[in-house]
């Protein structure tokens, strides 16, 4: 499995805090968005060093935690941060772990996928959510006004979408799952 091309687990947290304004607030909002769900199972997509999963675990201390990331080096750090979690080397393009999951969370990972890969991921998420489950997505987007860009992007590696495009992908994914499946859109609608 290929390593993430430029993320050094020893410097990742400092880098992301420098490049993502209000990073700590973003992580807090993700954790807050999970509180309405009594989660027994949580899947974290793009676990990295475990910051998101640690915060979500703090809100759901008895939940079974599973995280995936393509970098075993990043997961080595996450194993120290969230020692009870089942952390697996896998890409977001791969099959997801077997569910169902009460919560699926992802912070700052999905923007590395192109639109067809995002659509496929959202379909897989929809099939893994338990009834009443929630998908919480916090990620880089393309702002309506280019002057609002605040996070540097690496061409070819970062592939953010506009909010409306992201919502369309989620809506299409939801339409492809069974009629009584979970509602993805509630969790990513801009507030």
For residue 73, what pLDDT is reported? 93
Residue 172, in any domain of the structure: yes
- Domains identified in the chain, total number: 1
Residue 60, in any domain of the structure: yes
Taking the C-alpha atoms of residue 131 and residue 14, their distance in angstroms, rounded to an integer, is: 37
- Domain region containing 152: 12-179
Mean pLDDT for each consecutive 10-residue tract of the chain (191 residues)? 61 83 88 94 96 96 97 95 97 95 91 84 92 86 65 63 70 56 42 37
Residue 188, in any domain of the structure: no
Residue 184, in any domain of the structure: no
For residue 132, give the CATH number of its domain. 3.40.50.150
Question: 0.75 cut: is pTM over it?
Answer: yes
For residue 60, what pLDDT is reported? 97
Residue 122, in any domain of the structure: yes
Residue 104, in any domain of the structure: yes
For residue 185, what pLDDT is reported? 44
Residue 108, in any domain of the structure: yes
């Amino acid at each position: 499995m290929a390593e993430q091309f430029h993320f050094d687990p020893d410097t990742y947290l400092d880098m992301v805090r420098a490049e993502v304004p209000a990073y700590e607030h973003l992580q807090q909002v993700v954790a807050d968005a999970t509180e309405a769900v009594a989660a027994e199972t949580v899947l974290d997509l793009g676990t990295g060093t475990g910051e998101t999963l640690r915060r979500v675990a703090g809100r759901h201390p008895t939940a079974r935690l599973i995280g995936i990331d393509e970098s075993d080096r990043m997961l080595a750090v996450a194993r120290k941060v969230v020692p009870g979690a089942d952390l697996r080397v896998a890409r977001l393009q791969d099959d997801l772990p077997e569910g169902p999951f009460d919560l699926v969370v992802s912070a700052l990972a999905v923007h590395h996928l192109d639109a067809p890969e995002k659509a496929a991921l959202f379909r897989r998420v929809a099939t893994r959510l338990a009834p009443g489950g929630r998908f919480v997505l916090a990620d880089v987007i393309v702002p309506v006004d280019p002057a609002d860009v605040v996070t540097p992007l690496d061409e070819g590696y970062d592939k953010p979408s506009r909010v409306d495009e992201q919502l369309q992908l989620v809506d299409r994914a939801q339409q492809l799952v069974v009629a009584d499946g979970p509602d993805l859109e509630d969790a990513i609608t801009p507030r």
